[in-house]
Structure 1
Amino acid sequence: MLQSCILLLFSASIAFGYVTFDGKEVPTLPDPATTVIVANVSQLYMAIRNQQAGQTILISPGIYDVTAFEPLRISVNNLSIRGSAEDPSDVVLTGKGFEYLGDEEMFQLYASATTFANLTLSECRGNCVKLQSMGNNNCLLHNVRFYNIGERMIKAPNPGNIYSRAWEIRYCHFENTKIPAVNRPDDIAGGNYIAGMDLMYCDSFQIHDNVFMNIKGATGDGRGAVFTWNNSTNMDTYRNTFIGNDKAICYWATVTEGTIKNNMIVAGANLGARIDNSIGIKLFNNTSFSADSGNGAFTFSGSSGCEIRNNIISGGISVTGGTYPDTANNIILTRNQKTVAARWFGDLSKGDLHMQSDTCGPVDKGMVLPSVTDDWDGRARDSLPDIGADEFSNNPPIDLAEFANLPKNDIFLCKATPNPFNPATVMRYSVPAAMAGLPVRVHVLSLDGKHIRTLRDGHAGAGSFSLVWDARNDAGTPVSTGVYVVTVTVGETSKTAKVTYTK
């Protein structure tokens, strides 16, 4: 029986890197060769102003208000902008705010081979990272957190029909905790002009192992968390997690060729996937499900040569115009089939889209597809593949759906998973925007209140986070089996959860 990605990364090593909100370990980047170290906003400004090809601008932990010199223009090739720590919440760049009433862009790219890594970009009204000149090729976004961006977290416009090619966007976290006002100025869609990424004239982008949370418009009609269109080609979106977005994945007008596979979609107010006026799009082994409604459908309009195979889809498939896609071997869940889904996914309230039993209907019922060799966890599929994003294994529950409707003025601590655990467990918590910048401490105590381990000690970033505890104390010594208390404290507010370590 296959083990889950989480359990494998725990058992593979004792020293853990940064772990994403959905439990994936982020690969560590190679050490940079030529660095410019900055520790305050003035130094950051001068480093951007004096940028040179081949440099890494290495940003020390802290909060950097860049509003005085936005937009930050990247004009030389092969420049990296990188936080010095593995945890992206240690380095936070802030703009004028989600609710700002004017135009704002944080970064503008006029170059290629740019890397953004290990940092948070937050509170920007307009476009956060914009491909200003287009022709911006071979760029990497690695372990970047985008938080409360009012229009586009990544924007590729269409100046002169110039393609940007060969990007990789991986292990990033795209999250909003705010919703635009229906009457906000300069919003052409009545508060719905908002998306995770908006990509025009892009080619050969790899968008994988990211988290997209709560990207919503004023009336539930926000653009896609992944929104690619206007003659983009060869766009691949895979192994991502989507939670509570109005629309998860949109390929529009006209995207030619691309694969959408192994994504887990906890549907929000609208669609799981929308394909409009596009050619040759393949949707393979995705799971789109909502415990609360019939949302999550896949819709097609005016498209041709598309294939929809091995998917679990809540809300069905709708086709208008174009050529009817190949829809072999999908499982369509209606509102009345929640009891069936409960047997497949376990506790519906948790939104865990891993299958819980080898007796589930999707197990061993999939078609063998040459382009689908692994699953959402990155684990190899066997000769009798399952339908959906997960190849059945003894996956621990991952409480993700609870984060689709977070409290606005209080911290939130989810139950640890797995629990009981051995050798490690993941704690997930959220911090509201109003508490950003306050001192944060996450620590483990014994039942009698003795300090065991500090997992985080610094200043709180806003958004949703995860931490791993490997059943060791601050000295690196394994603890005894038993029950322990995890405490998250932000300012004067604390939340606790119990975890049980077994052998």
Structure 2
Amino acid sequence: MDSTSSGSSEGATSGGTATAGPGTDSASTSTATGGGTTGGGETFEPCPPFEPPAGPVVDVSPEMADELPGLVASAAPGTVFAFAPGTYDLSGANLLHVTTPGLVFYGTGDDPEAVVLDAGYGIGEIFLVEAPNTTIANLTAQRAFYHPIHVTGGTDGNTTGTRIYRVRVVDPGQQGIKINASSAGYFSDEGEIACSEIRMTDAGRGFVTDCYTGGIDAHSAWGWTVRDNYIEGFWCDQGLSEHGVHFWVTSRDTVVERNVIVDCARGIGFGLGAMGNGKTRVYPDDPCPGAGYLGHIDGIVRNNVIVGKRPELFASASGMDSGVALEQACGPIVVHNTVVALEPPFVSMEYRFENTSAVIRNNLVTHDIVARDGGQATLSGNVEQAPLSEFVDPASGDVHLVAGAAAVDAGDVLAGEEAVERDIDGDPRDALPDPGADEFVPGP
């Protein structure tokens, strides 16, 4: 659990009322823990190698960096760009602006560190995606002045089907992956970020202005899945960073599962503030009747690990703020997450503001789960104030349960869309589930 694991999204895809989903337009390095088996003996394979789809192939190499914008602009739908190993210097205004559907960008081989697209803080974005069904895989995108990967709605329709898989995003000037609506009023929906690493290093932190940074930052996004990623280092000496994973401005039906988030000032957030950033998204089915402003609607947060361990994080001006934060969030389900802080955070989890109505069950935290500003939640099976002795080696980030931990078998049996059949490692949960992301499995 000190690294990520991956597989298909399990169980319900969101809390709350099911809908037809978004579809109508409007104006790493992989750090998998390895395979396992499910309760039925079925193999649980974390992050399988990326298999490029069939299509016309354009082979590119580092000396072609200056040609890439033109090649991308003129590509036919479905073109596959195969990047040979090496470092691609994109600092000379070499933005890859994706306006053609179905383009694929991937690093050849199986090591995302072997193919490095480096903006050198010379351009705002490396990938600017505003076309459906774009895939970015098996490569590193680093040191963009704003966002190494930016997904936005298009000029005449929503951008759907974005897949970011086995990608390393390193040292963004602002957010690592940005997702938002276009100025034309179209949205970015139904995407996936999986099996990837998003990291801020100490060197990169010096290029961030006013602590405006975070791992994944999504506005008004519907139906995204964020799974099996490793996210680290989003904090500042002065100021409060955004979250490792943050969906807000009336985002909806987000699935956040099996992620490991280490040394981030804020871990996972649905919504932010009483009124967000002043914008909103209107859904035709009115999923939360009578509510005012909503930061997030439905969705599920399960089997995630959030760990704060670096002394520098806790010594910073804002310290560790929260592991999971729900703010004006209608209908989310938060189950089987582990939040461990080696020093006191502000909260382990919080549910905040009067339009928040959540289900929070079977979570394991070292500090408190806190109601704030009129937030409402159904809580059960949670263990708060868990001592660090419950975990194998929290100082190194390993927060598997130890034998004899009080949390073992202390959770509630969950059913329906709250049920979580396997833990973060793919181990089946038994008849007496353990709170948190790890189900203790006795050794031989």
TM-score with structure 1 length normalisation?
0.68
Q: Using the alignment, how far apart are the partners of 1:286 and 1:96 within structure 2?
A: 36
- The match for 2:298 among 246, 254, 257 is 257
- 1:79-120 CA-partner distances (Å, limit 9, x unpaired): 1000011110000000133xx6xx712221120100000000
Matched, 1:248 2:267: yes
Change (3 A) 1:132 1:382: same
Structure with more of its chain in strand, by fraction: 1
Query: How big is the shift at 1:306?
Result: 0.2
**What is the CA–CA distance in structure 2 between the aligned matches of 1:379 and 1:300, rounded to whole Å?**
29
Alignment-mate amino acid for residue 368 of structure 2: G
Change (3 A) 1:73 1:347: closer
What residue is the counterpart of 1:225 in the other structure? 244
* Counterpart in the other structure of 2:83: 59
* 1:107 pairs with one of 118, 127, 140: 127
2:171 maps to 148
Question: Which aligned pairs between 1:149-164 and structure 2 lie closer than 5 A?
Answer: 149-158=172-181, 159-164=183-188
- Considering Cα pairs closer than 8 Å and 6+ residues apart, tell me whether 1 or 2 has the greater RCO: 2
Partner in structure 1 of residue 106 of structure 2:
82
Pair 128,116 (structure 1): closer, same or farther in 2 beyond 3 Å: same
Does the 8 A contact of 1:65 with 1:95 survive in 2? yes
Q: Which stretch of structure 1 is more off in the superposition, 108-117 or 151-160? A: 151-160
Whether contact under 8 Å (2:73, 2:99) holds in the other structure is no
Tell me how far apart the structure 1 counterparts of residues 185 and 370 of structure 2 sit (CA, whole Å).
31
Unaligned runs of 5+ in 1: 7-17, 397-503
Kept in 1: contact 2:339–2:364 (CA 8 A): yes
What is the distance in 1 between the residues matched to 2:189 and 2:377?
27
Q: Partner of 1:21: helix, strand, or coil? A: coil
Equivalent residue letter for 1:264: V
Question: Counterpart of 1:306 in 2: which secondary structure?
Answer: strand
The equivalent residue for 1:320 is: 372
Structure 2 match to 1:355 = 401
| Structure 2 match to 1:381 | 429
**Bigger radius of gyration among the two:** 1
Q: How far does residue 181 in structure 1 lie from its aligned partner after superposition? A: 5.3
For 2:255 and 2:342, the matched residues in 1 are separated by: 27
Match of 2:190 in 1: 166
Contact 1:138/1:166 (CA < 8 Å) preserved in 2? yes
Percent of aligned positions that are identical: 25
> Does 2:367 match 1:345?
no
The superposition leaves residues 269-308 of structure 1 with CA deviations (integer Å, 9 ceiling, x where unpaired) of 2210111111111110000001233455112211432011
| Cα distance change on mapping 1:180 and 1:89 into 2, 3 Å | closer
Q: Counterpart in 1 of 2:413?
A: 368
Q: Is the 8 A contact 1:116 1:141 kept in 2?
A: yes
Taking the aligned partners of 1:145 and 1:181, their CA distance within structure 2 comes to 19
CA contact (8 A) 1:309 1:328 kept: yes
Quote the RMSD (CA, aligned, Å): 2.4
- Residue type of the partner of 1:354? H
Do the aligned partners of 2:152 and 2:188 also contact (CA within 8 Å) in 1? Answer: no
Pairwise mapping of residues 27-46 of structure 1 onto structure 2 (< 5 A)? 27-34=48-55, 35-40=57-62, 41-46=65-70
- Confirm or deny: 8 A CA contact 1:22 1:241 kept in the other structure: no
Q: Which amino acid aligns with 2:402?
A: Q
Between the aligned partners of 1:295 and 1:391, the Cα distance in structure 2 is 27
Asked whether the 8 Å contact 1:137–1:166 carries over to 2, the reply is yes
- SS of 1:349's equivalent in the other structure is helix
Match of 1:137 among 151, 160, 165: 160
**Is the partner of 2:356 in helix, strand or coil?**
coil
Match of 2:363 in 1: 311
For these two proteins, the number of residue pairs brought into alignment is: 365
Q: CA deviation at 1:394?
A: 4.8
Aligned to 1:299: 350
**1:94 lines up with 2:118 in the alignment:** yes
Give distance in 1, aligned partners of 2:370 and 2:393. Answer: 28
Contact in 2 for aligned 1:192/1:217 (Cα 8 Å):
yes
Match of 2:338 among 287, 291, 309: 287
Structure 2 SS opposite 1:149: coil
1:152 is displaced (CA, Å) by 1.2
Question: Structure 1 stretches (4+) deviating beyond 4 angstroms?
Answer: 179-182
Structure 2 CA distance for aligned equivalents of residues 26 and 220 of structure 1: 35
Alpha-carbon separation, structure 2, partners of 1:347 and 1:133: 43
Given the alignment of the two structures, is residue 331 of structure 1 paired with residue 383 of structure 2, yes or no? yes
Unaligned runs of 5+ in 2: 6-27, 35-45, 277-294, 314-319
- Offset, 1:42: 3.9
- Partner SS state of residue 380, structure 2: coil
Look up the SS of the partner of 2:235 in the other structure: coil
Q: Are residues 26 and 19 of structure 1, via their aligned partners in 2, closer, same or farther at CA, if it must alter by over 3 Å? A: farther
Give the alignment's TM-score, normalised by structure 2: 0.77
Q: Distance in 2 between matches of 1:160 and 1:318?
A: 39
